């Protein structure tokens, strides 16, 4: 398979970062793993300095700049033909990369999404309903038919994602990617994936206020030039 660049934005994930990187390392495919520590304050940065895995590159932000900024730093430092984002928690299973890549290599897709709802995603009520509402809003405004636009797993050629000229420094990076992909009429395919949502007690950071901001960002990207 072609080289896959796996970009891992990290902020305060000391409890899970080592385990997720070990899981990624076990995936049998040509890959490089680019971890961007976004100014963590919980010791994540110290843990990263003691992790030595093949194909691992670690970049440090001196301060917290946001998920989008961390992703864009990883993108700038990537060398793979294909790009995918990996959250630093344990909600997403890296074994799904192979399924997503196989769909991409069939041809007919510019962007492959790992869709959670098609397998009966049963997560926390507010995030689940919020995701369905926001995906419905995207579908309505852009004339699309997506299942799960907020999924972490978005697989694209590097040349394709570079052509979108992404600028977001924050969590709206996901909205910007999908909105621009739809505006550019990219061919989007969705592949069912497994999903293991963690609870707020376990460290989940998404709140209802993030959903409110997501509505603003969707409207912004839909009606901006």
Domain that holds residue 134: 4-223
Torsion on CA atoms 49, 51, 52, 55, rounded to nearest 10: -90
Q: What is the pLDDT of residue 205?
A: 55
Q: What is the pLDDT of residue 117?
A: 75
* Structure token pair of residue 165: 């000229």
The residue among 172, 176, 5 whose CA lies nearest residue 74 is: 5
Q: Is the pTM of this model over 0.75?
A: yes
The strand ranges marked E within the chain are: 4-10, 31-38, 56-61, 82-85, 111-115, 154-157, 188-192
Q: What DSSP state is assigned to residue 116?
A: S
Q: What is the pLDDT of residue 127?
A: 66
Q: What is the pLDDT of residue 201?
A: 57
Q: What is the pLDDT of residue 210?
A: 72
> Residue 176 in 3-state DSSP?
helix
Please report, for the domain that includes residue 77, its CATH number: 3.90.550.10
User: Residue 189 and residue 51: Cα distance in Å, rounded?
Assistant: 35
Residues lower than pLDDT 50 in the chain: 200
Q: What is the pLDDT of residues 79-120, one digit of tens each?
A: 999 999 999 999 999 999 999 999 999 999 999 999 987 755
Q: What is the pLDDT of residue 108?
A: 94
User: Residue 208 and residue 225: Cα distance in Å, rounded?
Assistant: 28
Tell me how far apart the terminal alpha carbons of the chain are, to the nearest angstrom. 37
Sheet holding 4-10, edge to edge: 56-61, 31-38, 4-10, 82-85, 154-157, 111-115, 188-192
User: Residue 9 and residue 29: Cα distance in Å, rounded?
Assistant: 21
* Structure token pair of residue 216: 């603003």
The residue to which tokens 């909600």 are assigned? 91
> What domain count does the chain have?
1
């Amino acid at each position: 398979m072609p080289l896959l660049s796996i970009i891992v934005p990290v902020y305060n994930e000391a409890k899970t970062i080592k385990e997720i990187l070990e899981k990624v390392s076990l995936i049998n495919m040509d890959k490089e793993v680019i971890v961007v520590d976004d100014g963590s304050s919980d010791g994540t940065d110290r843990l990263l300095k003691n992790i030595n895995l093949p194909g691992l590159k670690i970049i440090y932000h001196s301060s917290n700049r946001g998920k989008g900024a961390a992703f864009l730093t990883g993108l700038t430092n990537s060398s793979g033909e294909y790009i995918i984002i990996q959250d630093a928690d344990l909600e997403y299973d890296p074994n799904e990369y192979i399924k997503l890549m196989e769909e991409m290599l069939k041809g007919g897709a510019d962007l492959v999404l790992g869709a959670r709802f098609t397998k009966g995603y049963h997560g926390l009520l507010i995030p689940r309903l919020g995701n369905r509402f926001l995906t419905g809003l995207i579908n309505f405004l852009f004339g699309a038919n997506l299942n799960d636009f907020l999924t972490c797993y978005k697989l694209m050629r590097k040349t394709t994602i570079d052509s979108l000229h992404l600028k977001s420094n924050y969590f709206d990076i996901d909205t910007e990617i999908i909105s621009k992909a739809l505006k550019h009429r990219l061919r989007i395919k969705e592949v069912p994936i497994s999903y293991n949502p963690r609870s707020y007690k376990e460290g989940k950071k998404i709140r209802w206020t993030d959903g409110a901001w997501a509505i603003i960002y969707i409207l912004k990207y839909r009606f901006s030039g």
